[in-house]
Structure 1
Amino acid sequence: MSGVTCRRGLIVLLAALLAVALTARLGIWQLDRAAQKRALQAAIDARGAQAPLAATELDAAAEASQLHRRVRLRGHWLAERTVFLDNRPMDGRFGFYIVTPLRLEGRAEAILVQRGWLPRNAQDRSRLPALATPAGTVEIEGRLIAAPSRLYEFEASASGPIRQNLGAAAYAQETGQPLLPLTVLQTGPAGGEDGQLLRDWQPPDLGLQKHYGYAFQWFALSALFLGLYVWFQLIRPRRRAAA
């Protein structure tokens, strides 16, 4: 075997080893990411299993540690501040997520509540759906999320009742109503005056299966590189020599 052939064979071997090692490492990295997401999901489940928080226990300085906790709150709706978040699907249809501030009993602040879903008028997109909001003191249950459901926004934030997104800090400044920096995703069956609302919320999707899928692709690519090297550099030359 000539020196040129040996050098070429060594270069091919090194390239194959590098490709196999790189793709295998990327597969392992995706498995690590999946393990991190599993740990995060376990933490979310553990918080969700804790006793519900009352209004007096909500702490703006500890919002990160209270995410995903269940709550049981009393207060009254600021119905005139209701916002309709557009282009939100539920049960295969598009409509609005209804977000209304709830002024908490015993506190000066209110908190945004994502109350449920209502269908959109197909003929007139600007028409608001009929919404009954209970008056007086109400008690709601739900779990804490960082903010109302968000979508990508091409234009600047709107200021009317129909919007694409809503943030607590900006809305507090707009309305002059102090708002806690968290949002309640209201749970439980709708009843009474708000009985038309749907609350078929999907559980948090951390993308765990995506990482497993990516890991499989990287490991499959690693195996492909190894198989190609073995076939073209080992098996096929021996077959030719034996022919």
Structure 2
Amino acid sequence: MTPVPRTWGLRFWLITVAAVAAILVTASLGRWQLSRAAQKQELQSLLDQRAALPPIDNQQLRGHAGEADGVQDLIHRAVLLQGRWVPEHTVYLDNRQMQGRPGFFVLTPLRLEGSDAVVLVQRGWVPRNFQDRQQLPLVQTAPGVVQLAGRIAPPPSRLYEFQGADSSQGSSRIRQNLDLTAFRTETGLALMNLSVLQAGPASEGLQRDWPVIGAGVDKHYGYAFQWFGLSGLIAILYVWFQLVRRFLRPRPRPLA
């Protein structure tokens, strides 16, 4: 008796093509995530180098900010500035969170000592009074010349804003977002195209538990692991169900 040969039908080849395509796609996505991780690693190294540099003072800040690409080169650099608060232009950005609690980010312009240049300072976070949503929390603002330690940051990030919302009006202290160009026109201040994130422990009624600076390298490594794991799982399932089980399955006896 001659054993019956196993056939490789259309269903087998369709499954094979689909499995190979899925393995290639998931493996490519894993490699892409690794390339993104390498880019983020370079960015993290740059951020670490900037954070290790000596703090920038008033004169250095004005000099760098006046250059064409100076602002981007300053992001995340430490600063040690002297100036006077401009408290009449303090703004409270609504719906900001710190440690999972909703409240305000308090922003106050700081006029640098010895010049007309002004930098917008993200001073910290305060909780909101939900019993009276228009009540401004108490924030202490020292008069005279103050010394400020912090780091350079982009202007505050924007949140989604409903059209016609009261908090978006330029005349309101409480706002959803703050456009630096419009704020410069509104106040008449010589605001730089950057902001300063004030550092230090809680003070003046403000908390400053800012997120740690990071480029998110670990996230991309995690995604890459998931894609490569899925690619390997598809390969294992294909080999088991389409090859191993096919040859382990008892062969039917041929008819006499």
Q: For structure 2, which runs of at least 5 residues remain unmatched after alignment?
A: none
Q: Would the aligned equivalents of 1:75 and 1:103 in 2 still touch at CA under 8 Å?
A: yes
The separation in 2 between residues aligned to 1:121 and 1:161, in whole angstroms, is 15
Counterpart mapping for 1:181-200 below 5 A:
181-191=193-203, 194=204, 196-200=205-209
Segments of 5+ residues of structure 1 without an aligned counterpart are none
Q: TM-score, structure 2 length as denominator? A: 0.85
1:143-162 to 2 correspondences below 5 Å: 143-155=151-163, 157-159=168-170, 160-162=172-174
The aligned counterpart of 2:231 is: 222
Residue 210 of structure 2 is matched in structure 1 by 201
**Residues 99 and 115 of structure 1 are in contact (CA less than 8 Å); yes or no, is this contact kept in structure 2?**
yes
1:7: how far off?
5.7
Structure 1 residue corresponding to 2:136, chosen from 91, 111, 128: 128
2:242 maps to a residue whose letter is Q
Q: Deviations over 1:31-90 (max 9, x none)?
A: 211121122111111101101111211233310001100011111011000000111222
Please list, as runs of the form range in 1=range in 2, the aligned pairs for 1:60-79 lying within 5 A after superposition.
Answer: 60=65, 61=68, 62-79=70-87
Alignment correspondent of 2:186: 174
2:44/2:214 contact within 8 Å kept = no
Question: Is 1:81 equivalent to 2:89 in the alignment?
Answer: yes
Q: Give the counterpart letter for 1:169 in structure 2.
A: T
Match of 2:247 among 221, 238, 242: 238
Alignment of 1:110-125 (within 5 A): 110-125=118-133
Q: Distance in 1 between matches of 2:231 and 2:92?
A: 49
User: Which 4+ stretches in 1 moved above 3 angstroms?
Assistant: 4-12, 154-157
Letter paired with 2:190: P
Distance between the aligned counterparts of 2:236 and 2:77, measured in 1?
Answer: 50
1:56–1:106 contact (8 Å) kept in structure 2: no
Structure 1 vs Structure 2 CA RMSD: 2.2
Q: Percent identity?
A: 51
Q: What does the per-residue CA deviation read over 1:90-137, in whole Å, with 9 as the maximum and x for residues that have no partner?
A: 234221111000011122220000011111112011110112211111
Opposite residue 120 of structure 2, the aligned amino acid is L
Q: TM-score, normalised by structure 1?
A: 0.90
Query: Which has more radius of gyration?
Result: 2
